[in-house]
Amino acid sequence: MSKTFDIGISALAGPGEFAQANVDSAPPLSNGKSFFIETFGCQMNVHDAEKVAGVFLARGYRAAQSIAEADVMLYNTCSIREKAAQKVFSRLGAWRGIADGKIIGVIGCLAQQEGEDIFERAPWVSLVCGSASYRKLPQMVAELEAGGRRLMGLDLDTDETFETEITRRDNPLRAYVTIIEGCDYSCSYCVVPHTRGPERSRPSDAVLSEARRLADAGYTEIQLLGQTVNSYRDPSARTLSFVELLREVASVAGIRRVRFTTSHPNDFHREIVDAIDATPVLCDHIHLPVQSGSTRVLGAMRRTYTREEYLEKIAWIRAARRLISVTTDIIVGFPGETENDFEQSVTLLDAVGYDGVYAFTYSPRPNTTASTMPDAIPEEEKYRRLAVLQDRQRQIQIERNNKLVGSAFELLVDTHHSARGQWAGRSTSNLIVNFTSPLQNLLGEYVQARVTRAAPFSLVGEQVI
Ligand code: SF4
C-alpha cells in the first residue's frame, strides 16, 4: 500500500540520531541551506529517501521543517500505479508558486520513467534523477549549487548499489537496510526492471557492519530490503547465500528482530522456513506476493511459478514449528482474466489462509508487455472483483483474528494514541495490537499484551504486567 512520508529532521529521536552521530567522516559544515523530501511509495522508496537525505546532510544541508522553508524541494515517488504521473505533475504544479530561487527535483522510479518530459511539462524543475542513478546525486547537487540547470540522471547500467556514508533514518525503531537493488525478473506488468535496473547485491560485510552500527546505535529491529530480497547473492569472496546472511544478521548482538521483504516465490526455498524455525530473532512473518491464483494468468504475468508450486511453498511454511504469518499481493483484472481465473484467486485466499492481502486492480504501465495485451477488463468489473476479493479476505481475517483472543504477544511499541488512551505495537508476526497500559513512556519498549478483542484489521488488548 502506498503512503506519503515527509522527511523532516524534527522527526528524529533516539536511535534515529545514529544518522549523524555514527559516521566516520567529519561532521559536515553548515552551508545554511535546507532540503525537504516528499516521498510517496513503498518501503524501498522510503529508505531511498533516507539515503538521499544523507547525501544532502553530508553536503552541509539541514532538513527543513516544511516545504515552504526549504531551499531544495524533492519529490520522490514510485510509478507502480497508473495515477502516479498525474499526482507528480499536480504536486509540481502546486510547488510552482514557491519555486523562485529554489531547486526543485523529481527523484525515484517515476523520474526514471518520465525522464526529460518532466522538464518539458514543469520547466521550473532543475533536477530529474532516477532510482538507479542516485550514486550520481552528490555530483549533480554540486553542479546545481554551481548554477547548473536541468540536470538529469537516468543511467541504468550501474553495477553498484546506492549507499551513503550518512543515512538519515526516519524511523527511530525499525531500521531499513537494503541488501539488493534492481530486479532481473520480467513480470509483464511491472516497470521496476526499467526504473531500478538489473539486480545487484551488496557485499555481506557491508550489510553486517551496517547491522552492527545500527545495534550499537540502539536499534533492535532491522528490516532487510530488496525488490526480490531472497534472490540475494553475496558478490564478495564469502559468497553467503540469502539464508546464511539472514542467520548472520540475526546473530548481531543487540538485534532482537530481523524482517525481510519482498520475497519472490521462485527464490523461496525450504531453507528460509528452516532458518526462521531455528532462529527466534528472524520474525515469523513472510510476505510472499502471489499476484494471481490462476496458473494461466501467472503465465501471462511471467511470474515463473504455478499455483501448485506456490501452494507447495505455503505447505513448507505451514509445516514449520513456529506459527508463521503469511501476507501477499494480488492483482485483479489482469488483461484476459476470466471469471474462472478470478475465482481461483478467491479460492487461493482460503487455501492459504492469509493474515493480510494487499489487493490492487490492474493498471497498465508504460513500456510493459501487459500494457499492449488484448482483452482489457472494464474498470467497473475490476472494481467489482476487487470488492469480492477484499470481502472474502475480510471474513478470513475476522476468523483468524478471533482465534487470537486470549493469546499474549510480545510487542515492540511504536505508537501512542493519546486521544484513545492506547498504545500500539507489532508482534514478531507483524500483528498490530492496540492495548491499554497503566504504565507511561512505552514507545520503543518490548511489552507483553493479551488480546481481548479482535477486528478484521487489528487487535485490541491489555498489557500483561
Ligand atoms: S519480481 Fe516482477 S513484480 Fe517484482 S520487481 Fe521484479 S519484475 Fe517487478
133 in Cβ contact with 153 (< 8 Å): yes
How much distance in Å is there from the Cα of 182 to the middle of ligand 1?
Answer: 9
Ligand 1 and 190: CB distance under 6 A: yes
Q: Kindly give the number of the ligand 1 atom that is closest to the alpha carbon of 191.
A: 8
What is the Cβ-side half-sphere exposure of residue 264, based on CA atoms within 13 angstroms?
A: 20
pLDDT at 380: 97
Cis status of the peptide bond prior to 262, with omega within 30 of 0: yes
Q: To the nearest whole percent, how much of the chain has pLDDT over 90?
A: 60
Cα–Cα distance list, 139 to 70, 76, 142, 154, 332 (Å): 20, 18, 5, 14, 42
CATH number for the domain whose boundaries are 174-401: 3.80.30.20
Find the mean pLDDT for residues 353-367.
92
Residue nearest to atom 8 of ligand 1 (CA): 190
Residue 37 has pLDDT above 50, yes or no: yes
The identity of residue 324, as a single letter, is: I
**Segment 97-141, tens digit of pLDDT:** 887 888 899 998 888 888 888 999 999 999 998 877 787 787 888
Mean pLDDT of 302-318: 98
pLDDT for 95 equals: 87
Query: Residue 184 CA: which ligand 1 atom is closest?
Result: 6
Helix (H, G, I), strand (E, B) or coil at 191: coil
Which of residues 249 and 59 earns the better pLDDT score? 249
Whether the pLDDT of residue 1 is over 60: the answer is no
Is 28 or 374 the better-scoring residue by pLDDT? 374
Closest ligand 1 atom number to CA of residue 264 = 1
Among 78, 227, 298, 360, say which to mutate for ligand 1: greatest number of ligand atoms within 8 Å of CB: 227
**291 Cα nearest atom in ligand 1:** 3
Q: Could you tell which of 81, 185, 267 is best to mutate to test the pocket of ligand 1, judged by most ligand atoms within 8 Å of the CB?
A: 185
Which residues fall within 8 angstroms of residue 380, CB to CB, at 6 or more apart?
A: none
Q: Whose grid coordinates read 552521530?
A: 21
SS3 56: helix
Tell me what the mean pLDDT of segment 261-268 comes to. 96
Is a pLDDT exceeding 90 seen at residue 166?
A: no
Q: Which of 103, 11, 118, 17 lies closest to 56 in space, CA to CA?
A: 103
Is the pLDDT confidence value at 27 over 50? no
Cα 121 from chain centroid?
29
Q: What share of the chain is helix, strand, coil (3-state, %, to 5)?
A: 35, 20, 40
Q: What Rg, from alpha-carbon coordinates, does the chain have?
A: 22
CA atoms of 370 and 188, how far apart (whole Å): 5
C-beta of residue 303 within 8 angstroms of C-beta of residue 265 = yes
CA of 279 to the centre of ligand 1 (A): 28
The whole-number average pLDDT for the span 280-305 is: 98
Quick one: average pLDDT of 256-265? 97
Residue nearest to atom 1 of ligand 1 (CA): 185
Average pLDDT over residues 90-101: 85
What mean pLDDT is predicted for residues 222-227? 94
pLDDT of residue 79: 66
| pLDDT at residue 185 in the model | 96
Could you tell me the distance, in angstroms and rounded to a whole number, from the CA of residue 455 to the centre of ligand 1?
A: 32
Nearest atom in ligand 1 to the alpha carbon of residue 228 is 1
Confidence of residue 159 (pLDDT cuts 50, 70, 90): low
What CATH class has 3-153? alpha beta
> Across all residues in the chain, what is the average pLDDT?
87
Give yes or no for residue 227 CB within 6 A of ligand 1. Answer: yes
Average pLDDT over residues 294-307: 98
User: Which residues are bridge partners to 426 per DSSP?
Assistant: 412, 432
pLDDT level of residue 4 (50, 70, 90 thresholds): very low
CA of 421 to the centre of ligand 1 (A): 41
pTM: predicted TM-score of the whole model, two decimal places: 0.83
* Pocket test residue of 43, 81, 187 for ligand 1, highest count of atoms within 8 A of CB: 187
Residue 264 CB less than 6 A away from ligand 1 = yes
- In this predicted structure, the answer to whether residue 13 has a pLDDT above a threshold of 80 is no
Whether pLDDT at 408 is above 90: yes
Domain ranges of the chain: 3-153, 174-401, 408-463
Average pLDDT over residues 82-88: 74
193: Cβ below 6 Å to ligand 1? yes
pLDDT in tens, 415-453: 999 998 999 999 999 999 999 999 999 999 999 999 999
Q: Calculate mean pLDDT across residues 43-61.
A: 85
Band (144; pLDDT cuts 50, 70, 90): confident
pLDDT for res 186: 95
DSSP 3-state assignment of 201? strand
On the question of pLDDT at 2 being above 50, the answer is no
Q: HSE, CB side, 13 Å, CA atoms: give it for residue 367.
A: 13
- Ligand 1: residue whose CA is nearest its atom 2: 187
Q: Ligand 1 pocket, 192 CB below 6 A?
A: yes
Residue range 383-395, pLDDT digits in tens: 999 999 999 999 9
Q: What are 433's strand-pairing partners?
A: 425, 459
C-alpha grid cell, residue 302: 511471467
Q: Which pLDDT does position 65 carry in this prediction?
A: 86
Ligand 1 and 187: CB distance under 6 A? yes
Is residue 45 a contact partner of residue 7, using CB atoms and an 8 Å limit?
no
Average confidence (pLDDT) over 229-236: 96
pLDDT of residue 16: 26
CATH, domain range 408-463: 2.40.50
- Residue 184 Cα to ligand 1 middle (Å): 8
183 pocket-lining for ligand 1 (C-beta < 6 Å):
yes
Residue 217 Cβ < 6 Å to ligand 1? no
Say yes or no to pLDDT of 31 above 50: yes
221 vs 16: CA distance, rounded Å: 12
Nearest atom in ligand 1 to 183's CA? 6
Quote the ligand 1 centre to 20 CA distance (angstroms): 34
